[in-house]
Structure 1
Amino acid sequence: MNEQTIATRNERRGQAIPIAKANARYYVAQMVTKETHLSRSPLKSKDRDVDGVAVGVLPRFEVPVVNVTVVEGTTAILPCSVNNLGRHKVVWMDQWATLLAYKDNPNCIVVWTDQWATTLAYKDKRIIDDERYSIQRPFESNWNLHIEGVKHDDQGQFICQVNTKPVQKQTVVLNVLVPPRILGSNLASKYVVKEGMSVSLICNVTGIPAATVTWYKLPTDIGSKKERIGFSGEILKIHNVTRYCSGKYECVADNGVPPPYKRELEVAIEFPPEIRLPNKRIGQVLKKETILDCIVTAYPQAVSVWKFKGRELSKSSKHNVEVFNEGDHKITLSLRIKDIGKEDYGLYTCVASNSMGRTSKRMELYGKKPL
């Protein structure tokens, strides 16, 4: 890259004063000065320039080299503070000697450029379309570069440079942290798998620094704590799943830059119905009523019925069938038998079936003598 210059009128020579040569991947804030001559004699009023700065006293930086670390989306403030500036000029440039900004006053000039050699501002006015860049001067010696809504691509090395002989430079390293995010909002949030198979839950994450993904199984009971499971990583693989693996899982991505990112995933395990009878035999006297309960667990939920002597029972003056959802893929199929007669005694069968299979169990209703 050719040497860039800022054309300024030298009162004595009228020559252009060079800013800096391109230096691979650097942001540069550069101070351009008029040629000065060192003097070892005692300083008198005539030995000072119009700003009261002693002739022959070179500018110097007030603060050492610094690293600036900010979170993406916030404002980055890159400090550059110079003493004894006088009629000298300060230039901010990027790592390719690109002009970022150039702010003028009667006695000094500040120029800022970005990493792509784009002029951002001249004097107090912004030149490029990017409104994020500006020069702020909270104190007389400050020439701070502000970048609002900083992006990760903005990070790199910036150099505040004073074009003395030799050139004085101060490097400011901008690091941009990016909070964790989980990618793939269009990916499945519910996984349906048959019992005995394997399932892989996926949470692809981004973030700078790299995020760690931790997995939890969420409780079904209110007030219980979630349980950490498996190893850290973007994929949680569960082998040989059972119905007890069903439920909600949570992946948490964290890289130390708040806030952590969370995502819930649901796992549904398909399995054939299971029947549990609280009682295998139940007795009741004539003319009374009784209730037979059949507890069915299945996913997908089963078609469940009561049968008596090969006939499916439904709501009538003699029978009433109700279904109670117990949660966790469980229902209670309740059969109420009214005004029991001798013909009602015998074996009742609870039958449940779904796409995974079919099962049944029997309960006996027998007669009892009245007390």
Structure 2
Amino acid sequence: MISDQRSSCRIVVTSLLLFFIIMSHALTEGPRFAEPIPNVTVALGRDASLPCVVDNLGNYKVAWIHIDRQMILTIHRHVIARVSRFSVSHDNHKTWLLNVNQVQQEDRGYYMCQVNTNPMISQVGYLQVVVPPNIVDSESTPSSVAVRENQNVTLTCKAEGLPTPKLSWRREDGQPIVIDKKTKVMIQEGEQLNLTRITRSEMGAYLCIASNSVPPSVSKRIILDVEFSPMIWVPNQLVGAPSGTDVTIECNTEAYPKAISYWVYEGIMLLPTKKYLTDIQENSYRTYMRLTVRNLTSKDFGSYRCISKNSLGETEGSIRLYEIPLPSLAPRTTEMGSHAGKNALKSGVVQRTTTTEIPEVKTTTAYATTMSNYVIPASAGHRIEAYWPGTFLLLAASFLFHSGQTVLSIHS
């Protein structure tokens, strides 16, 4: 019994001794880093924090140092560097944060967290500052470029940023880019865009786009003008119209720089009046010219010229306007009944009128043509009805000729 009690006491005493040894060791153990400083990536102008977690700091002090600039930033709670963007904060005397506000490119580099033990202990973390892309205008093609048609041109775009930006080209209007006259691509990569024997169809705005996965991407807009002398084509070189109507003639031109375009008739420039109505529509390097001549007269028929000129040259087109007759139809004849014919014989020659209507045409005035049917008196009570369109006499039966008065007869 006594032996068991002694064994229990020994176990208790041994446990107490082990507890005091562990506690004593814990109280005498120095500071140590609980976790490494992470590498931090931040965009230019944003805020960043580097944590330094220390166990058992005790009365020791924590300092932050920018290794690349060999600059002491903070010691304990005090900021040493004369840079207002740096500050220090701590949490429960264990986590010490180096705060960098509105990060600049010079803040990039290695940072050391140091504890003033003997010997000194420290650890290092890296602050990466990424920079959105920026196009360098001084090293790039100007925003507007002019080149003669069929010449070669190279567009250049330079950009800076971290990581190094990638550059790509595309047309603003969504059309493909023509490479060496054989290949068409929607997007072309690289700092330079080479265009060979450029044509007017390649004129327009080109976009250089720089991106490096750091938002935002940026672009530069370059207007490419292709210069050439005027060209004219006429849809209809020969136009006919009746007198008294209105007529419209057209010319289409292409030119760059923008051309001066106008109409000429008999050596005189035509200005907008009640007689002449001019309309000019422009689309890029194309111009559509229309001239309406109202209420045509004999003086209006002849040769009209459309003229286009710019700094590189001049050209013209010619349209011949000639007169055509109004359209007409054959007349319709209404025969007079037998009773009306008998009554007509009593009174001599009776004129009966038939009106032929002309279908509506695009003229300022509608016209109608009038023709006549006649009943001719005959001797001995014989008669005949006849009608003639124009100069032709059409008879419905046989005819006889007598001296003196002519008698045409088909009834006895």
CA separation of 1:138 and 1:47: change in aligned 2, threshold 3 A: closer
Q: Distance in 2 between matches of 1:178 and 1:211?
A: 10
CA separation of 1:62 and 1:249: change in aligned 2, threshold 3 A: same
Correspondence 1:62-141 to 2 at 5 A: 62-95=34-67, 97-104=70-77, 122=78, 126-141=79-94
Q: Which runs of 5+ in 2 are unaligned?
A: 1-16, 178-184, 328-412
CA separation of 1:203 and 1:161: change in aligned 2, threshold 3 A: same
Q: 1:230 Cα deviation (Å)?
A: 5.8
Report the structure, 1 or 2, having the larger helix content: 2
CA separation of 1:267 and 1:171: change in aligned 2, threshold 3 A: same
Q: Distance in 1 between matches of 2:94 and 2:87?
A: 16
Identity within the alignment, %: 31
Do 2:37 and 2:50's aligned partners in 1 also have CA atoms closer than 8 Å? Answer: no
Q: 1:344 Cα deviation (Å)?
A: 2.2
> 1:209 maps to which residue?
163
> 1:31 maps to which residue?
none
Q: Structure 2 residue aligned with 1:347, among 297, 303, 315?
A: 303
Do 1:285 and 1:340's aligned partners in 2 also have CA atoms closer than 8 Å? Answer: yes
> 2:121 maps to which residue?
168
Q: Distance in 2 between matches of 1:47 and 1:317?
A: 113
Q: Distance in 1 between matches of 2:274 and 2:161?
A: 67
Q: Which runs of 5+ in 1 are unaligned?
A: 1-40, 105-121
Q: Distance in 2 between matches of 1:55 and 1:88?
A: 14
Q: CA RMSD in A?
A: 2.6
Q: Deviations over 1:205-226 (max 9, x none)?
A: 110010011111011xxxx688
Q: Which amino acid aligns with 1:249?
A: Y
Question: What secondary structure, in the 3-state scheme, does the structure 2 residue paired with 1:55 have?
Answer: helix
Question: What secondary structure, in the 3-state scheme, does the structure 1 residue paired with 2:201 have?
Answer: helix
1:159 paired with 2:112, answer yes
Larger Rg: 2
Q: Which amino acid aligns with 2:190?
A: G
Do 1:79 and 1:172's aligned partners in 2 also have CA atoms closer than 8 Å? Answer: no
CA separation of 1:87 and 1:226: change in aligned 2, threshold 3 A: farther
CA separation of 1:46 and 1:354: change in aligned 2, threshold 3 A: closer
Q: Distance in 1 between matches of 2:22 and 2:205?
A: 82
Do 2:254 and 2:286's aligned partners in 1 also have CA atoms closer than 8 Å? Answer: yes
Q: Distance in 2 between matches of 1:169 and 1:321?
A: 86
CA separation of 1:127 and 1:101: change in aligned 2, threshold 3 A: closer
Q: Which amino acid aligns with 2:308?
A: A
> 1:58 maps to which residue?
30
Q: Which amino acid aligns with 2:302?
A: G
Q: 1:155 Cα deviation (Å)?
A: 0.9
TM-score under structure 1 length normalisation: 0.74
Q: Distance in 2 between matches of 1:207 and 1:236?
A: 21
TM-score under structure 2 length normalisation: 0.67
1:239 paired with 2:207, answer no
Q: Which amino acid aligns with 2:104?
A: K
Structure showing greater relative contact order (alpha-carbon pairs closer than 8 Å, 6 or more residues apart):
1
What is the number of equivalent residue pairs in this alignment?
A: 302
Correspondence 1:177-256 to 2 at 5 A: 177-184=130-137, 188-219=142-173, 229=186, 231-256=188-213
Q: Distance in 1 between matches of 2:279 and 2:269?
A: 14
Q: Which amino acid aligns with 2:243?
A: L
Q: Structure 2 residue aligned with 1:321, among 265, 278, 282?
A: 278
Question: What secondary structure, in the 3-state scheme, does the structure 1 residue paired with 2:27 have?
Answer: coil
Q: Distance in 2 between matches of 1:246 and 1:46?
A: 84
> 1:360 maps to which residue?
316
